[in-house]
Amino acid sequence: MSQPDVEGHRSNGTTPDSVTNGRTTIDVDGLEVVYSDGTAAVQGVDMTVPEGEFFGFLGPNGAGKTTSIKVFATLLSPTSGEVLVNGFDARSEAHKIRETIGYMAQETSIDPELTAEENIRFACEAYGVSRGDRDGRVDELLDLVDLADVADKRAEGFSGGMKKRLDAATALVHQPPLVFLDEPTTGLDPKARNRLWEYFQRINDLGTTIFLTTQYLEEADQLCDRLAVLLDGQIVADGSPDDLKRQVGGDVLDIELEGGGAERERAMTIAQTFDAFGDATVTETDEGVSVTSERARQHGTDLLVALRDAELTVTGFNIRAPTLDDVFLAITGEKPDSEPDSNTAEVSQ
């Protein structure tokens, strides 16, 4: 398996010439964060993000994504380790970091009593955008996030997607070279999500380094040049989205079976020895079996026929692209704990 050059490699090839130029915007060495209640949220993270890259932290709830991003954005102090952001130390030069980053929190953060325009104008003033540039910047950002026609409306009446877009605009007022996006699309419908993705892609194409966290492989796949998979406060895998999917090894065929353990055993044996799939990964699930193979799409129906011939009753099936769960399964050999989080608004996959 030929590994692509991981550093700064653009896997999806949407930008003609890579904008990375060898400088690093984030340089982390041995980061650990322990909360006052003793929870070790981040346990030894080392990473670098070159300038211009679209980098993603992928992981389930509670993996330490938000904790890490808050350390980079100077909202939390690291317990130990070195953190350099835009060349500034997170402990001693927090103020310089704040001047050179944009940050979009996981929870939508806007002032609902102010209009869209006033929210952006406040951010301009807060970041010290010079007086002469403010009007232009406000108009430009309202256009960028398609809120120009509601510029004078109070934000409290906006939909979730509009609020997120406004929030994103306020993080960009000072044209920061580095922008942090903490689960920016959680809770949005697919249409709103796609729209946000376009904006992020656009500002990245203009040369802005982006650091994103997400729970969704699809989102990481769509946007990121490079990913680190975070689990229980540690990076367990790192590479381009293609690398990670290659670790999963193809598409996933979920099969629901009638009967119990004995039937599932037989089905697993059949699937494992099924020639057309090559080397497939077969796992038992609550409803039946799950088969992961690069040829699951082409030959999935053949397997269903084979199961029927073996007098097993298939009550349902589904072929899908691998999800974050499958990536974790492939990388760690176990499913991530899906601890329900208070802010887990499900996004339809």
List of residues contacting another protein (CB under 8 A): 21-25, 35-36, 51, 66-67, 70, 73-77, 86-88, 95-96, 98-101, 103, 105, 107-114, 118, 122-123, 125-131, 133, 154, 170, 174-175, 177
- Minimum CB separation of residue 184 from another protein in Å reads 13
Three-state DSSP class for residue 153:
coil
* Residue linked to tokens 């208070």: 342
Q: Is the dihedral of CA 181, 99, 158, 148 positive or negative?
A: negative
Relative to beta strand 24-34, strand 40-50 is antiparallel
Residue placing its CB nearer to another protein in the complex, 126 or 305: 126
- Minimum CB separation of residue 287 from another protein in Å reads 36
- Nearest one of 182, 174, 147 to 161, comparing CA atoms: 147
Residue placing its CB nearer to another protein in the complex, 80 or 301: 80
Is 347 within 8 Å of 196 (Cβ atoms)? no
- Minimum CB separation of residue 70 from another protein in Å reads 7
Residues written for the chain: 349
- Minimum CB separation of residue 340 from another protein in Å reads 17
Residue placing its CB nearer to another protein in the complex, 121 or 245: 121
Backbone angles phi, psi at 125, to 5 degrees: -70, -40
Residue placing its CB nearer to another protein in the complex, 112 or 160: 112
Residue 28: how many CB atoms within 10 A of its CB? 23
- What is the DSSP secondary structure assignment for residue 335, as one 8-state letter? P
Residue placing its CB nearer to another protein in the complex, 176 or 250: 176
* Residue linked to tokens 């020639």: 275
- Nearest one of 110, 240, 99, 123 to 178, comparing CA atoms: 99
- Minimum CB separation of residue 305 from another protein in Å reads 52
- Minimum CB separation of residue 118 from another protein in Å reads 7
Distance CA 166, CA 119 (A): 8
- Minimum CB separation of residue 175 from another protein in Å reads 5
Sheet with strand 24-34: strands edge to edge: 40-50, 24-34, 80-85, 88-89
Treating both helix axes as pointing N-terminal to C-terminal, what angle do 160-170 and 190-205 enclose, rounded to 10 degrees? 20
Residue placing its CB nearer to another protein in the complex, 129 or 224: 129
Residue placing its CB nearer to another protein in the complex, 100 or 323: 100
